[in-house]
Structure 1
Amino acid sequence: MLQLYCINITKDFSDDKIQNLLRYVSNETKERFHKFHFMEDSLRTLYGEILVRYISRTQFNFDTQQIIFTKNKYGKPYIKDNPLFFNISHSGEWVVCAFSSSEIGIDIEKIEKLNTNIAENFFSEYEYETLLNTENKKQLDYFYDIWTLKESYLKWLGTGLSTPLNSFHFHLNEKNIELNNNKIKNNLYFKQYPIPEYKLSVCSENNHFPKIVKEISVKDIKF
């Protein structure tokens, strides 16, 4: 089982709706919501938890009020005492969430200008050299392909940046995404989804990926 969902934080926004949704999130999320200076940051935090709670109820018949979140020692969140795995990512106007019966990792990034310094410092030597040898008009796509794949893999691992980004690398071709990491023996699968002006990558232990990322409208979320 693998399901993917997204929310656009710029659509269907209203103060009344936000105040209502705040009633259903954890105290930690409420505190973070009010600490942010910019509303966009607050909404990304709020919608992340709301998406988990809403999908858990509507798709998996969980009692929303009984969902308690816990974290591993690196900060990766889980639903306490429950076999459902999830992972959240957000960037720009999108919040995305992946659900699975096994460990899962997802990452979305808004495509901005190319930063070769980041690539030099955090890509493997192979990836960095491949970037430099890629024709100019395709470099930006390659950079964000690699960046989101790396992040999705680290989020699957659940170890955060304790695993160096340049300690493994990806090889991309027209048909396959191959992870090269001698320390990991699991059979992992990767898939990328098109969202205009963004890159989205998913790392999973099974290859039953959905065809699309299903968009959820904030106005339709009810508890």
Structure 2
Amino acid sequence: MVEVYLCKLPHLLQQKELNFLLQGVSQGKKEKVSKLYHLSDKYRTTLGELLVRFLYERKHPSQPMCTFTQNAYGKPYIKENPSSFFNISHSGEWVACAFHDREVGVDIEEVKDKQEDVAKIAFTSEEYERIMKEDKEYFYELWASKESYVKAVGKGFTISPDTISVKRNDEGATFVCEKERHEIQDFFCKIYDLEAYKLAVCAERTSKEEFLPPVVVSFAEILSFLT
């Protein structure tokens, strides 16, 4: 099954609280957070790793996770259990995480205005024309879907997003390789509406029935996990 989890940032962001949260993340994550300017970005980045640690230890209480590793393109894996696949995304006030027993990618996007400059380079000409006619939610559905796919494949945007198109339907989305004009069979994407956000989860060799509804993990649970 594809498990999807969400954690909302606290209403009040405090440096003292962030310092406490940082005690539970890897040295590499601490260094990354130290280079960020905005306190909200620091929180989101820190919570991403903490959410994975919290969920993994809850799923594997006898095999606590110690170390993150990554592939050549930067996709993270759990060194102690590389067959437990996960992915993280964050936007606005939400951090999202997905777990699967095969490759998985997740992307959450706060719905704002259409980004026409992004649309011109990230979408096919047919997609671009429709985006310009549709409301802004359609833009973010397609964008989140594409990003979840390239994250699931594990190569990020070394796969140019305009080389794949999204085939949207009521059940979710599949993808078409534009160069070879064939449907990509190995990945299915589920799209969720979350208040003013679009959440897309793409998983390998999975049907729509295998996607579980998102579960919210409270910020209080994360704090409790660290004490």
Task: Find runs of 4+ consecutive structure 1 residues off by over 6 angstroms.
Answer: none
Per the normalisation by structure 2, the TM-score is 0.87
How far is the alpha carbon of 1:32 from its aligned partner?
Answer: 2.0
Contact 2:7–2:216, Cα closer than 8 Å, also in 1: yes
User: In the alignment, residue 148 of structure 1 is paired with which amino acid?
Assistant: A
CA distance in 2, matches of 1:162, 1:105: 15
Q: Which residue of 2 aligns with 1:7?
A: 7
Contact 1:12–1:219, Cα closer than 8 Å, also in 2: no
SS at match of 1:10: coil
Per the normalisation by structure 1, the TM-score is 0.89
SS at match of 1:187: strand
Contact 2:5–2:215, Cα closer than 8 Å, also in 1: yes
Q: Which residue of 1 aligns with 2:75?
A: 76
Q: How does 1:1-223 map to 2 (within 5 A)?
A: 1-11=1-11, 17-61=17-61, 63-64=63-64, 66-82=65-81, 83-132=83-132, 134=133, 138-181=134-177, 182=180, 185-205=184-204, 206-207=206-207, 208-211=210-213, 213-221=214-222, 222-223=225-226
- For these two proteins, the number of residue pairs brought into alignment is 217
Contact 1:74–1:158, Cα closer than 8 Å, also in 2: yes
User: In the alignment, residue 107 of structure 1 is paired with which amino acid?
Assistant: D
Unaligned runs of 5+ in 2: none
How far is the alpha carbon of 1:34 from its aligned partner?
Answer: 2.5
Larger deviation: 32-41 or 147-156? Answer: 32-41
Q: Map Cα deviations across residues 27-66 of structure 1 (whole Å, 9 max, x no partner).
A: 11112222222110110111010001000011232544x4
CA distance in 1, matches of 2:42, 2:48: 10
User: In the alignment, residue 198 of structure 2 is paired with which amino acid?
Assistant: K
- Identical columns (%): 35
CA distance in 2, matches of 1:33, 1:117: 28
Unaligned runs of 5+ in 1: none
Contact 1:152–1:203, Cα closer than 8 Å, also in 2: yes
Contact 2:66–2:80, Cα closer than 8 Å, also in 1: no
RMSD of the TM alignment (CA)?
A: 2.0
